[in-house]
Amino acid sequence: MAQSEADELLNLGLEHYKQSQFRAALRYWQQALTLYREIGDSLEDRLAARQGEGNTLNHLGKAYHCLSEYQKVIDSHQQSLRIAQEISDRVIEGDALIGLGKAYDSLGDYQKAIDSHQQSLRIAQEIGDSLGDSLASRIMAGNALNGLGKAYYCLDEYQKAIDYHQQSLEIFQEISDSLGDSFDSRQGKSDALNNLGNTYQSLGNYAKAIECHQQSLAIRRAIGDRLAVGISLNNLGNVYYSQKDYHKAIEYYQQSLGIAREIGDRSGEGCYLGNLGSAYKFLGDYHKAIDYHQQSLRIKQEIEINDRRGEGISLHNLGSAYFSLGDYSRAIDYQQQSLAIAREIGDRLGEWLSLNDLGKVFLKTNQLVDAEEKLRAALEICETLRSSLVNSDHQVSLFETHKTTYRLLQQVLVVQENYEIALEIAEQGRTRIFAELLRERSSKPDEVMEIANQGSAATSKRAVQIAQEQNATIVEYSIVEDDIYCWVISPTGNITFRRANLTPLQAQNKTLTDLDDIILKARVSIGVDERDKNGKKIQCESNEIIDAYGRYPLLQLLYQILISPIADLLPPDPHTPLIIIPNYGLFLVPFSALQDAKNRYFIEHHTLLTAPSIEILELTHQRQQSLSRVNQSALVVGEPTIDAQFTQPPYNLKPIPAAKEAAEAIATLLQTQAITGEMATKARILNQMKTASLIHISAHGLLEDFHESGIPGTIILAPDNTDNGALNAAEILSLTLNAEFVVLSACSTGKGEITGDGIIGLSRCFILAGVPSLIVSLWDMGAYSAKRVMIEFYQNLAQGDDKATALRQAILKAKEYFSCPADWAAFTLIGETAPLSLGTPIPEPRRRTMVFPSESTPQEIRDAFFNLLETSNLFSKHLPSLEQLIAQSTDTPQDIAQRIEQWCESRPTIQANMANKLSQMGAGGTDSQPDADIAAEFNQRLEKNRIRLGSPPASSMNQTEK
């Protein structure tokens, strides 16, 4: 009777626990515990009662954990552990160890947590070995792996954390697949997803983090786990906080705080208060931030056994808030307290945060020696954390998270006028993982390791050596908090430091934070289609587009910022190579098209190429020297058939006009056969890439990461029976190529995720696969202009030009024919510029008249016409004749398009530029407005541009007025 009553109380407690009613659960379990302890009628009854007692103590421990009463957690699980060992109940013993591990984790004693979870995992494996994979042993193993992952996450060993959480997730998924969803399996799955989300956030992989947290939240809501729902909401807030969306973060934190207070979750309440404080700090409400942080700190100090890690975080946050208020003495005091706790509990990430912020305070107060000391200590932690990660993409993400330390240390060194040492730190901050992976894949690792062993301390000497060997000038940019640093290394060995000219920004009431938007708008001003973070098309103001004199205001603004301060240091001879090493958003700057005050383009005076870093420049040079040149075959791919998946939304890809013709022309020049259409399958192209010495691909490029490899970038090849033809960047990375040179003449093959060392994506993967030199496109340049540039480029190579010179001459030639920079400035050379042997001289190709693509819609023709009108100076000689295009109110869209086409036919240069612009347009739209409205809108826009370019108002504009 007592046994069944105790069992019923135990189950009642479980029901309340699942609903996050922890105090009620405690009452039922305490009553059950009393009854179990009173049972003793027989040996068999007593054994069952002892099992019930052990189980109940474990459940009590879980409830006390949810209430942050950690000493009671430990007492309960230790009592359960003794009972389990006494009666040899391995399941209860394993569960007790998991509970102890979680308690130690919450208290910051991560080694004890790991020991407990490892013991539990061994027990689960032993149960499975002796009894088969029982449900209890599998759940225990999944929970133990989750606990290990969380402990290693807190120790900043992110690779181990990911491995353990993924193993746990697989176990719980297998349980659900084979036995159906239970509360335990769903809870375990949600915990694994939650912990994976936290780890991905720490690595800076925010999209993956949000995906994991949303999946976890959905499960937790479905099972009614209120405590866990609050945690998931908080963690989603953390991701949005990391993305600087503070208002959205606050929404999630407030929801979490409400739940924590409803269910009496004191630990969660302290955490969520602190997070609200951090969000309000970044919104500039420092007093509210301090109030929240002080509430958070009090709770963490009041919890039965102090939450040392949480206390350290609160102290750090208070220091950060006081720094923002300008109270530097308090900021230092709180950060030093936080640092002491982080070191005491082995919290390396917390130690980095405190050291980084102490360096920031000391820099602000001009205590430069102390600032340098703290920031160098923080960098040592960054290197230690990075080296513990196996996955290179996780290493890149971690480097991006820690980039502020590299920037702060550069600032400290520049203030001290230690410019060359600052250059070394700038190089070190350019994601060293890229260089290390390149070393690993080198065919001469000894030579490459000699470079590696020199370390960043030899950066300036190596830069001078490269400049001298290649007779090149190197310009390295580094973006710091509110400045852009420039180092110019000349062939004579001089290293000169300059700052970018931010005065033009300040004159427009803008700051460095606006630079990325300016870069994108500069690209839009020359006709490139760019979207904001919400997918909305970016538009330029009327004063930001080309004027009647051929001046591009934003290209000139970027020239003033980036080039003017160093113009006197650049080589006067236009044939001397100029190697530009950008940083972050500067990788998207079309340097070739930047304009000086006299409307002259940068490419007119300099032979340009780019590199991710000085270190990579040297390593690609080593690769160039080590290549085998036995096989001189060329692989040319053009206009592969597009799988139906990519012709539908959201991709809407369509055949690139003239791409097949261009590929065949280039193949003829290279004395090979182009692979086009349905023959250009991924399997075939991958196979031929392995042996080709030159690879030229003209196809669509996307930024998607279809294989979820962490590396964005995909080339769309032809499908076959096995796949859709999407060649992912990660697949390229897995290759070992012997190609000396690659050309990616596709849509935006030069774009990807922007990081410190450059763009992660296709270009990076080809270099890592062994290619020392490649040309990529920063946007879709149009098939006709791309063909002209490439044919000219290969002809120049055949005449003995090096790659940079050949590309410059080809661009200048195309510029004579195509007025708009969007039609010639997209191609950029990355890496080595050494000449390329192409065998016999290449014949001059037959020129063809460029006509409008037959599939162009009326809307596309109008869009291309206005794009060209607003981004080039082609129309300055034809302004009077533009009146011929004025639409009548009765005109259809087809009439307007036909009139534009006929008008262009008598003007071959404009016709060619229009044909090329139409080849860039992508998926075309269809007209949905009434014909009269389309005609009126066309006339208004036409007249606006005519007046902008200096023409008097048209006399017949009233024809379409209503």
Q: Does residue 330 form part of some domain?
A: no
On whether both 744 and 647 belong to a single domain, the answer is yes
Residue 740: strand, helix, or coil:
coil
Residue 788: pLDDT above 50? yes
- Judge contact between 488 and 643, C-beta under 8 A: no
Q: Does residue 162 form part of some domain?
A: no
Residue 845: pLDDT above 60? no
Q: Lowest-confidence range among 179-193, 216-230, 893-907?
A: 179-193
Spatial separation of the C-alpha atoms in residues 957 and 943, rounded to whole Å? 8
Q: What's residue 849's pLDDT?
A: 60
**pLDDT band with cut points at 50, 70 and 90 for residue 958:** very low
Count of Cβ atoms closer than 10 Å to residue 285 Cβ: 15
Q: Lowest-confidence range among 344-353, 590-599, 915-924?
A: 915-924
On whether both 603 and 638 belong to a single domain, the answer is no
Q: Does residue 522 form part of some domain?
A: yes
Residue 597: strand, helix, or coil:
coil
Alpha carbon 297 to its chain centroid, in Å, reads 34
- pLDDT tens per residue, range 493-537: 999 999 999 888 888 888 877 888 899 999 999 988 888 766 788
On whether both 783 and 652 belong to a single domain, the answer is yes
Q: What's residue 236's pLDDT?
A: 97
Q: What's residue 448's pLDDT?
A: 42
Q: Does residue 290 form part of some domain?
A: no
Residue 115: pLDDT above 80? yes
| Best CA proximity match to 655, nearest among 663, 671, 848, 686 | 663
- CA–CA distance from 635 to each of 386, 677, 734, 796 (Å)? 38, 15, 19, 19
Q: What's residue 178's pLDDT?
A: 80
Identify which has the larger pLDDT, 912 or 67.
Answer: 912
- The average pLDDT across 10-21 equals 86
Q: Does residue 264 form part of some domain?
A: no
- The average pLDDT across 239-257 equals 95
Q: Which domain holds residue 369?
A: 349-416
On whether both 89 and 61 belong to a single domain, the answer is yes
Q: What's residue 394's pLDDT?
A: 44
- Judge contact between 424 and 456, C-beta under 8 A: yes
- The average pLDDT across 38-66 equals 83
Q: What's residue 431's pLDDT?
A: 54
Residue 406: pLDDT above 80? yes
Residue 615: pLDDT above 70? yes
455: which residues sit within 8 A by CB, 6+ positions away? none
**pLDDT band with cut points at 50, 70 and 90 for residue 629:** low
Q: What's residue 757's pLDDT?
A: 46
Q: What's residue 43's pLDDT?
A: 63
Q: Does residue 70 form part of some domain?
A: yes
DSSP string, 709-734: -S---EEE-B--SS---EEEHHHHHT
**pLDDT band with cut points at 50, 70 and 90 for residue 624:** confident
Domain boundary among 97, 130, 155: 155
Q: What's residue 40's pLDDT?
A: 66
Q: Does residue 242 form part of some domain?
A: no
On whether both 783 and 865 belong to a single domain, the answer is no
**pLDDT band with cut points at 50, 70 and 90 for residue 39:** confident
Domain boundary among 129, 155, 181: 155
On whether both 578 and 542 belong to a single domain, the answer is yes
Q: What's residue 495's pLDDT?
A: 96
Identify which has the larger pLDDT, 264 or 521.
Answer: 521
Residue 347: strand, helix, or coil:
coil
- pLDDT tens per residue, range 587-610: 889 999 999 999 999 999 999 999
Spatial separation of the C-alpha atoms in residues 518 and 504, rounded to whole Å? 12
- The average pLDDT across 766-773 equals 88
- The average pLDDT across 883-904 equals 92
- pLDDT tens per residue, range 426-470: 988 775 555 555 455 544 444 444 444 444 445 788 889 989 988
Q: What's residue 411's pLDDT?
A: 97
On whether both 802 and 872 belong to a single domain, the answer is no
Identify which has the larger pLDDT, 386 or 837.
Answer: 837
- The average pLDDT across 794-798 equals 91
- pLDDT tens per residue, range 655-694: 876 778 888 988 988 889 999 999 999 999 999 998 999 9
Identify which has the larger pLDDT, 641 or 649.
Answer: 641
- CA–CA distance from 456 to each of 126, 422, 846, 853 (Å)? 50, 11, 51, 52
Q: What is the CATH number of the domain that holds 649?
A: 3.40.50.1460
On whether both 810 and 904 belong to a single domain, the answer is no
Q: What's residue 387's pLDDT?
A: 58
Q: What's residue 680's pLDDT?
A: 95
Pairing of strands 495-499, 577-581: unpaired
- pLDDT tens per residue, range 357-376: 999 999 999 999 999 999 99
Task: Say how many CA atoms lie within 13 Å of 745 toward its Cβ.
Answer: 32
Spatial separation of the C-alpha atoms in residues 552 and 540, rounded to whole Å? 12
Residue 420: pLDDT above 70? yes
Q: What's residue 71's pLDDT?
A: 86
**pLDDT band with cut points at 50, 70 and 90 for residue 843:** low
Residue 177: pLDDT above 80? yes
Domain boundary among 138, 155, 172: 155
Q: What is the CATH number of the domain that holds 110?
A: 1.25.40.10
On whether both 599 and 693 belong to a single domain, the answer is no
Q: Does residue 165 form part of some domain?
A: no
Identify which has the larger pLDDT, 21 or 601.
Answer: 601
Residue 490: pLDDT above 80? yes
On whether both 667 and 535 belong to a single domain, the answer is no
Q: What's residue 475's pLDDT?
A: 97
Q: What's residue 449's pLDDT?
A: 45
On whether both 497 and 387 belong to a single domain, the answer is no
- The average pLDDT across 245-259 equals 96
Nearest-5° Cα angle at 565, 559 to 567: 75
What is the chain's mean pLDDT, rounded? 85
State the total domains in the chain.
Answer: 5
Q: Lowest-confidence range among 156-165, 213-222, 448-457, 566-575?
A: 448-457
On whether both 775 and 642 belong to a single domain, the answer is yes
- Judge contact between 433 and 405, C-beta under 8 A: no
Spatial separation of the C-alpha atoms in residues 892 and 915, rounded to whole Å? 22
**pLDDT band with cut points at 50, 70 and 90 for residue 18:** confident
Residue 24: pLDDT above 60? yes
- Judge contact between 804 and 859, C-beta under 8 A: no
Identify which has the larger pLDDT, 535 or 784.
Answer: 784
**pLDDT band with cut points at 50, 70 and 90 for residue 482:** confident
